[in-house]
C-alpha cells in the first residue's frame, strides 16, 4: 500500500464522536490518503469516500483490496454526496477540511512555496488554475480575494505587485513577488506569502462554497441518529460549520415571553445540540504541528426532515 504523508488530525476524537458500530455506513467526505477511511474500516464500518483528485486512486485501490466489498471511492466533490448516495443512507459523515500534507509536499499540485513548480493549486483536474487567476484577474479582484480568503491586510499592495510582475509562472516566483511587496514584517514567524497562497488556493477550489454545500448534503444523507464530525483548520471554515450547526440545532438565541421568536416558521431542528468543540492535545501537536489550528465540531442528526435547500435560520 502507498505510504501516506498525511496524518489525520484528531482521529481518535473523530472516532469517538462518530461512535461507529460494525455494519454502519460511514462517509469519508475528504478521502485524501485514506486515513479516516482506514480507521472507519478497522472499526467494522462500510465506507464510501469522496475525493475530486484522481491522484488518490492508488490509496483507494489498496483499501478496496484489503476490505473487499466494504469500500468505495467516488471521484466527485463531497457536495454531491446526497446525489450519489441518496437521502438517509449513512450513519456517519466526516470531513477533514483544507489542504493535506500530501498535496503540499507534492510539487505537481503547485500549492507550496517550498517547491518551485508551476502554479496550479487545483484539488481536481477541472477549472481554471491559480496561474490563470494570478495572470488574468484584475488588480481589484485579486485584492478582494486575498483580503477575504487570506485575511491579509496588505492585499492591495500584493495585488498591485502581482499585476506588475506578470506573467508569474512558478510558485517560487509568486512567493518572491509577495515577499518583496510586504518586506520582512517584524515579529512574524510564518512566511509572508502564506496568507496569499491560502487565498488563491481556496478561491480556485471554491473551498468555502463547497463546504457550505457539503454540510447541506451531509444533513440529507444522514439517517436519524447519524453523526456528523467536521475538522477545520482556520476561522473561515470553522465559522461556517459553527453557524450551520447552530442554525440546524436551534441553539441560536430564540424568542421569549418578552420578545417573540423571530422565525416562527423555521423548520424543526435537524440536529441535536452540538458537542463541545475539541482541539488537539499538546502531545498530538508535538507529533504533528498541523494539528495546532484544528477544531472538531460534531453533532447527532435528529429525526426531523432535512431543511429545504437554501433556507437558513
What pLDDT shows up at residue 253?
A: 47
Kindly report, as residue ranges, where domains of CATH 1.10.150.170 are found in the chain.
Answer: 125-204
Sequence-distant (≥ 6) Cβ neighbours of residue 184 within 8 angstroms: 192
Domain 125-204 adopts which CATH fold? DNA polymerase; domain 1 (1.10.150)
Three cell numbers written together for 230: 467536521
ω before 139 within 30° of 0 (cis)?
no
pLDDT of residue 256: 46
Q: Strand pairing partners for 48?
A: 27, 72
Residues pairing with 296 in the sheet: 231, 278
Could you give phi then psi for residue 26, rounded to 5 degrees?
-110, 140
Distance CA 276, CA 286 (A): 23
Pick the CATH number of 11-102+207-300 from 3.40.50.150, 2.40.100.10, 2.40.170.20, 3.10.180.10: 3.40.50.150
Which residue has 484544528 as its cell numbers?
A: 294
**Looking at the chain, which residues constitute the CATH 3.40.50.150 domain(s)?**
11-102+207-300
Per-residue tens of pLDDT for the chain, all 313 residues: 444 445 789 999 999 999 999 999 999 999 999 999 999 999 999 999 999 999 999 999 999 999 999 999 999 999 999 999 999 999 999 999 988 777 888 888 889 988 899 999 999 888 999 999 999 999 999 999 999 999 999 999 999 999 999 999 999 999 999 999 998 766 677 899 999 999 999 999 999 999 999 999 999 999 999 999 999 999 999 999 999 999 999 765 444 444 445 455 789 999 999 999 999 999 999 998 889 999 999 999 999 999 998 765 4
Amino acid at each position: 500500500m502507498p505510504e501516506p504523508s498525511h496524518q489525520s488530525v484528531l482521529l481518535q476524537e473523530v472516532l469517538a464522536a462518530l461512535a461507529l458500530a460494525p455494519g454502519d455506513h460511514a462517509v469519508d467526505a475528504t478521502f485524501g490518503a485514506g486515513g479516516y477511511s482506514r480507521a472507519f474500516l478497522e472499526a467494522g464500518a462500510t465506507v464510501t469516500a469522496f475525493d475530486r483528485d484522481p491522484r488518490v486512486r492508488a490509496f483507494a485501490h489498496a483499501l478496496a483490496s484489503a476490505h473487499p466489498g466494504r469500500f468505495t471511492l467516488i471521484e466527485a466533490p463531497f457536495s454531491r454526496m446526497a446525489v450519489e448516495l441518496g437521502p438517509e443512507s449513512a450513519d456517519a459523515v466526516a470531513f477533514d477540511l483544507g489542504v493535506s500534507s500530501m498535496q503540499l509536499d507534492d510539487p505537481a499540485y503547485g500549492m507550496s512555496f517550498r517547491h518551485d513548480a508551476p502554479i496550479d493549486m487545483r484539488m481536481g483536474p477541472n477549472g481554471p488554475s491559480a496561474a490563470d487567476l494570478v495572470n488574468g484577474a484584475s488588480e481589484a479582484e485579486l485584492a478582494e480575494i486575498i483580503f477575504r480568503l487570506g485575511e491579509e491586510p496588505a492585499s492591495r499592495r500584493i495585488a498591485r505587485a502581482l499585476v506588475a510582475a506578470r506573467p508569474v509562472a512558478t510558485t517560487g516566483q509568486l512567493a518572491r513577488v509577495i515577499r518583496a511587496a510586504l518586506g520582512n514584517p517584524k515579529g512574524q514567524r510564518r512566511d509572508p506569502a502564506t496568507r496569499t497562497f491560502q487565498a488563491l488556493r481556496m478561491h480556485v477550489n471554491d473551498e468555502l462554497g463547497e463546504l457550505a454545500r457539503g454540510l447541506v448534503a451531509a444533513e440529507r444523507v444522514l439517517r436519524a441518529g447519524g453523526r456528523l464530525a467536521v475538522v477545520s483548520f482556520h476561522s473561515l471554515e470553522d465559522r461556517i460549520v459553527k453557524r450551520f450547526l447552530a442554525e440546524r440545532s436551534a441553539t441560536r438565541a430564540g424568542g421569549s415571553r418578552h420578545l417573540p421568536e423571530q422565525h416562527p416558521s423555521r423548520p424543526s431542528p435537524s440536529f441535536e445540540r452540538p458537542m463541545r468543540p475539541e482541539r488537539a492535545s499538546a502531545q498530538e501537536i508535538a507529533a504533528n504541528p498541523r494539528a495546532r489550528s484544528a477544531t472538531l465540531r460534531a453533532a447527532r442528526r435528529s429525526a426531523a426532515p432535512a431543511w429545504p435547500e437554501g433556507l437558513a435560520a
